[in-house]
Chains A and B, each alone.
Chain A
Amino acid sequence: MSVQSVDNPETEAALPDEEPDKLLHAAFVAGDESAFDRIVERHHERVARLAYRLLGWRGDVDDVVQDVFLAALKQLRRFRGESSLSTWLTTITINTCRTHRRKQLLRLRWWTARRDAGEPMRGAPADPFRDEASEEVRRAVQALPARDREVIVLFYLEDKPTAEIAKLLNVSANAVDIRLHRARERLRPMLTEWVED
Chain B
Amino acid sequence: MPDESLRQLLKRADARPSVSDPNELVAGVRRRRIAQHRMRTTATVVGTVLAVSLSLVLTTQNPRKMAEIGPIEPVNVAQQMSRLRVDAQMHDLTARALEAKARARRAIARADAHPDPLAELQFQRDRAAMTLVYEANRFSQNAVQTERAIAQYRKVIELFPTSTWADVARQRLRDMQS
Q: Which residues of A contact B (CB under 8 A)?
A: 36-37, 40-41, 44-45, 48-49, 51-53, 57, 60-62, 65-66, 69-70, 73-74, 121-124, 130, 133-135, 137-138, 141, 152, 156-157, 184, 187-188, 191-192, 194-197
B13 within 8 A of A: yes
CA distance A184 to B1 in the complex (A): 8
CA distance A52 to B17 in the complex (A): 6
Taking a contact as CB atoms under 8 Å apart, the answer to whether A197 and B15 are in contact is: no
The one of A122, A123, A141, A195 in contact with B1, judged by C-beta atoms closer than 8 angstroms, is A195
Taking a contact as CB atoms under 8 Å apart, the answer to whether A123 and B15 are in contact is: yes
Tell me the smallest distance from the CB of A12 to a CB of chain B, in Å: 16
CA distance A188 to B3 in the complex (A): 11
Taking a contact as CB atoms under 8 Å apart, the answer to whether A195 and B17 are in contact is: no
Taking a contact as CB atoms under 8 Å apart, the answer to whether B17 and A187 are in contact is: no
Taking a contact as CB atoms under 8 Å apart, the answer to whether A70 and B10 are in contact is: no
B144 within 8 A of A: no
CA distance A152 to B13 in the complex (A): 13
Q: Specify the main secondary structure of chain B where it touches its partner.
A: helix
Chain A residues within an 8 Å CB radius of B15: 52, 57, 121-124, 134, 138
B22 within 8 A of A: yes
Taking a contact as CB atoms under 8 Å apart, the answer to whether A195 and B10 are in contact is: no
Chain A residues within an 8 Å CB radius of B17: 48-49, 51-52, 57, 61, 122
Instruction: Across the interface, name the chain A residue whose C-beta is closest to B10.
Output: A156
Q: Which residues of B contact A (CB under 8 A)?
A: 1-2, 5-7, 9-20, 22-23, 25-26, 28-30, 32-33, 36
Interface-centre pick from B2, B7, B13 (highest chain A CB count, 10 A): B13
The one of B6, B22, B23 in contact with A184, judged by C-beta atoms closer than 8 angstroms, is B6
Chain A residues within an 8 Å CB radius of B32: 66, 70
Chain A residues within an 8 Å CB radius of B33: 70, 73-74
Tell me the smallest distance from the CB of B167 to a CB of chain A, in Å: 57
Instruction: Across the interface, name the chain B residue whose C-beta is closest to A63.
Output: B28
Chain B residues within an 8 Å CB radius of A62: 20, 25, 28
Closest 4 CB pairs of A and B: A137-B13, A52-B17, A134-B13, A41-B22
Instruction: Across the interface, name the chain A residue whose C-beta is closest to B31.
Output: A66
CA distance A141 to B7 in the complex (A): 12
Taking a contact as CB atoms under 8 Å apart, the answer to whether A133 and B12 are in contact is: yes
The one of A130, A137, A192, A196 in contact with B10, judged by C-beta atoms closer than 8 angstroms, is A137
Chain A residues within an 8 Å CB radius of B30: 73
Given contacts A48-B17, A138-B15, whether A152 and B10 have CB atoms under 8 Å apart is yes
Taking a contact as CB atoms under 8 Å apart, the answer to whether A49 and B2 are in contact is: no
CA distance A2 to B7 in the complex (A): 42
Taking a contact as CB atoms under 8 Å apart, the answer to whether B29 and A73 are in contact is: yes
CA distance A180 to B7 in the complex (A): 12
